[in-house]
């Protein structure tokens, strides 16, 4: 080895010193260890919890009512939940009005029970009826009163003070398009206007449950749309509506739940989707009521006289 040579000068380029320290060459040649490939982790989806079911605010169990030999209500069971618009449909004489009269305490059943907000309609009528607003079929109004007087009377009858009665009367009159008619006697109202003032009187004390027997009868399409919108807003705020109607299209469009009553018996009850299935409400109703079977059996209609 030359005198001026060092150990590092004579060491091969790829050699490692005896003390184990890597040289620049070995560092350059070193390659990073390949990263282990891991399976792609997919984010876990959280199961969506079903919406909580609203409590039952009106329940009827085993309602029976006879008129002589006629069984108008045969073990009627209904459960109506808060915030729903519940339709009751059926042919004429099916027992709709009888059922609604029993659940509101206007007609005592021969058997069965009805509770409103947990209060028995017959054992504790004051507490039960405090939560109700009722529009009976063919309601007789105090038609010698003006519209304003009728609303004021209805409000004070429910315990509202004069200022609140007047304020709510004005709001309802505007909503129903009755502002110009409040100063006239109800006797001078058309059938549709009388229906609207009666519904306004039913709403004025802001009941938790509305029971309306044929609220759309004799009402023009514009007024029907107004009533429907008011009922929807009322239910969205936590109110509950029970109504009967002969208009299947209107019930299907307005209600989220429905019961079909035929011959005093509930043949179907549940959400609109459950009762309808893949059919329209009208088709389902006709199927259960047997209307088409009767029509198809009348072949003699095709043999025209003369």
Q: How confident is the model at residue 8 (pLDDT cuts 50, 70, 90)?
A: very low
Query: Domain check: are 279 and 213 in the same one?
Result: yes
Structure-block tokens of residue 286:
């006709």
**Contact, 186 vs 197, CB < 8 A?**
yes
Query: Residue 271 is part of which domain span?
Result: 54-131+208-291
Domain end point (choices 181, 206, 231): 206
In a domain, 38, yes or no: no
Residue 284 has pLDDT above 60, yes or no: yes
Query: Domain check: are 176 and 146 in the same one?
Result: yes
CB neighbour list of residue 18: distance below 8 Å, 6 or more residues apart: none
In a domain, 34, yes or no: no
The distance of Cα 303 from the centroid of its chain, to the nearest Å, equals 47
Query: Domain check: are 118 and 228 in the same one?
Result: yes
Average pLDDT, the chain: 84
Strand partners, 261: 266
Name the least confident of 31-40, 63-72, 148-157, 172-181.
31-40
Residue 193 has pLDDT above 60, yes or no: yes
pLDDT tens sequence across 65-114: 999 989 999 999 999 999 999 999 988 888 999 999 999 999 999 999 99
Domain end point (choices 148, 176, 206): 206
Mean pLDDT of 136-140: 82
């Amino acid at each position: 080895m030359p005198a001026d040579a060092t150990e590092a000068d004579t060491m091969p380029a790829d050699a490692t010193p005896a003390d184990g320290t890597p040289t620049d060459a070995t560092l350059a040649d070193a390659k990073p260890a390949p990263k282990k490939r891991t399976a792609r982790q997919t984010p876990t989806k959280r199961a969506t919890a079903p919406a909580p079911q609203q409590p039952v605010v009106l329940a009827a169990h085993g309602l029976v009512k006879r008129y002589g030999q006629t069984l108008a209500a045969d073990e009627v069971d209904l459960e109506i939940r808060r915030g729903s618009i519940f339709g009751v449909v059926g042919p004429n004489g099916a027992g709709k009005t009888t059922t609604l009269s029993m659940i509101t305490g206007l007609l005592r059943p021969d058997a069965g029970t009805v509770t409103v907000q947990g209060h028995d309609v017959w054992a504790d009528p004051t507490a039960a009826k405090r939560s109700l607003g009722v529009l009976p079929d063919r309601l007789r109004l105090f038609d010698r009163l003006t519209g304003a007087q009728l609303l004021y009377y209805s409000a004070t009858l429910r315990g509202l003070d004069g200022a609140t009665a007047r304020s709510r009367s004005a709001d309802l009159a505007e909503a129903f398009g009755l502002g110009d008619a409040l100063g006239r006697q109800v006797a001078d109202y058309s059938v549709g206007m009388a229906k609207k003032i009666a519904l306004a009187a039913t709403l004025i004390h802001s009941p938790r449950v509305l029971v309306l027997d044929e609220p759309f009868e004799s009402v023009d399409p514009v007024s029907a749309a107004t009533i429907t919108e008011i009922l929807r807003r009322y239910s969205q705020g936590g109110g509950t509506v029970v109504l009967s109607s002969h208009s299947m299209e209107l019930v299907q469009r307005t209600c989220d739940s429905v019961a079909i009553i035929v011959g005093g018996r509930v043949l179907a009850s549940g959400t609109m989707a459950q009762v309808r299935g893949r059919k329209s409400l009208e088709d389902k109703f006709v199927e259960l009521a047997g209307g088409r079977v009767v029509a198809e059996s009348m072949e003699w209609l095709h043999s025209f006289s003369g």
